[in-house]
Structure 1
Amino acid sequence: MQIVDLEPGQVSEIYKLHREHRGLSYRDLSAFVLARDTQAVLVTGDGHLRMMAEKNGVECHGTLWVLDALVDAGILTGLHAADALKTMQANNRWLPKTECEARIRTWKP
Structure 2
Amino acid sequence: MKLTITDACIFIDLHLLGLVVPFFELDVETHTSLDVFNELNEEQQHLLSAYQSMGKLTVHTIHHEDRIAIHKVGYPKALSEMDCTVLYLAVQLGAIVLSSDKTVRNFAKKSSIEYHGMLWILDELVVQNRIASTVAASKLRQLITSNYIYQNNAVLVKEMNKRLRIWQ
Short-chain TM bin:
0.7 to 0.9
Q: Are residues 1:52 and 2:126 paired? A: no
Match of 1:11 in 2: 67
- AA aligned to 1:107 is W
Equivalent position of 2:117 in the other structure:
62
Aligned equivalent of 2:143, options 78, 88, 107: 88
SS at match of 1:6: coil
1:10-59 Cα offsets, whole Å, 9 max, x none, are: 21133345x65111101101000001110011011122211211222211
Given the alignment of the two structures, is residue 79 of structure 1 paired with residue 139 of structure 2, yes or no?
no
Q: Closer, same or farther in 2 for the Cα pair 1:35/1:91, shift >3 Å?
A: same
TM, length-normalised to structure 2: 0.58
Contact 2:100 2:117 in 1 (8 A): yes
**Which ranges of 4 or more aligned residues in structure 1 deviate by more than 6 Å?**
none
Name structure 1 gaps, 5 residues minimum: none
Q: Identical aligned pairs, as a percentage?
A: 27
Deviation for aligned residue 1:106: 0.7
Do residues 30 (structure 1) and 90 (structure 2) align?
no
Deviation of the 1:8 alpha carbon: 3.2
RMSD: 1.7
The answer on whether the counterparts of 2:75 and 2:84 sit within 8 Å (CA) in structure 1 is no
Contact 1:6 1:34 in 2 (8 A): no
Aligned to 2:161: 101
3-state SS of paired residue (1:3): strand
Alpha-carbon distance in 1 for matches of 2:138, 2:72: 41
C-alpha distance 74-44 of structure 1, shift in aligned 2 (>3 A): same
Q: C-alpha displacement at 1:93, in angstroms?
A: 3.4
In structure 2, stretches of 5+ residues that fail to align are: 1-56, 151-155
Give the corresponding residue for 2:3.
Answer: none
Q: How many residues align?
A: 107
Change (3 A) 1:103 1:38: same
